[in-house]
Amino acid sequence: MESKELSVVIVTFKSESKIFDCLNSIPNFIQVKIVENSNNKSFKENIEKKYTNVECILVGENKGYAVANNIGLKKVKTKYALILNPDTILNKDVINNFFITAKKLKEFWLIGSANDQVNNIYSRDNHVLEVDNLKGHAIFFNIEKFENNFFDENYFLYFEEIDLCKKVKKNNGKIFLDKNIIIKHLGANSVENVNELELEKNRNWHWMWSSFYFHKKYKGFAIALLIIFPKFITSFFKIIFYFIILNKKKRDIYFCRFSGILNSILGKKSWYRPSLD
């Protein structure tokens, strides 16, 4: 039954070895769509040769989490989809437990795993909770509820799943967490063999850009500016401080924070990309 009703979508970028533990934990009768944020043809060839149930889609460049997930989700033909980070590992009961909850709660839009830190609303039974938010490393979608409208593609990194959940709740959709569903998530471990400083700069730039964009989208420009302004000023003075004491690493990180906020305030797209070569 699961093979006809469920597809798995995994967004990857420089995840050549991380992805194998994840794929090995997915039953081989489940169709998997990997959306690779590059034009790495050898990655595609190796994956599709090793796993007959996997299709690897190359998007040509690093388009980020939201765009890549939308590409995968829009190709799904099954009733349900499970999006996973490449550094997740499923235990043997995960797929079955998702289906038990999906069949029981037919009105659901999203279901998450017990690893998530969320705001609980109430308990349906001993292990299922209705919640406001889910973490993005593993989310089970009721595809028909979304009408091909999934993640906001303005986000490159961070806040995508928070925004998605907020949209679901705005449409009176139901989001659940099942404590019986356990998914191992290594966390911040999807990208490998890259310059850690470049990743840190990238994280800081996009966290700041997405923070302002999210608050502006739901609270308006003025409130978003009030929320982000202290971080904007702090970043500016820390750039100067670390410049004076000749700490280039810290200076560059805070410059990225400052730049991310400034570009978001000015309405610029989320353009920053790390140099990972």
Per-residue pLDDT, 127:
79
Hey, where are the domains in the chain? Answer: 2-185, 196-265
pLDDT at 239 over 60: yes
**According to the model, what pLDDT value does residue 120 have?**
43
Q: CA triplet 138, 119, 174: central angle to 5 degrees?
A: 65
Predicted local distance difference test score (pLDDT) of residue 33: 97
Long-range contacts of 66-69 (CB under 8 A, 24+ apart): 66/151, 66/152, 66/153, 66/154, 66/155, 66/156, 66/160, 67/151, 67/153, 68/11, 68/35, 68/37, 69/9, 69/11, 69/35, 69/150, 69/151, 69/160
- Which tokens in the block code for residue 34? 């990997």
Query: Beta-carbon neighbour count of residue 171 at 10 Å?
Result: 11
Query: Average of pLDDT values for 250-266?
Result: 98
Is residue 167 pLDDT above 90, yes or no? yes
CATH (residue range 2-185):
3.90.550.10
Top pLDDT among 192 and 227 is at: 227
Mean pLDDT in residue range 88-98:
91
pTM, to two decimals: 0.89
Question: What percentage of the chain exceeds 90 in pLDDT?
Answer: 78
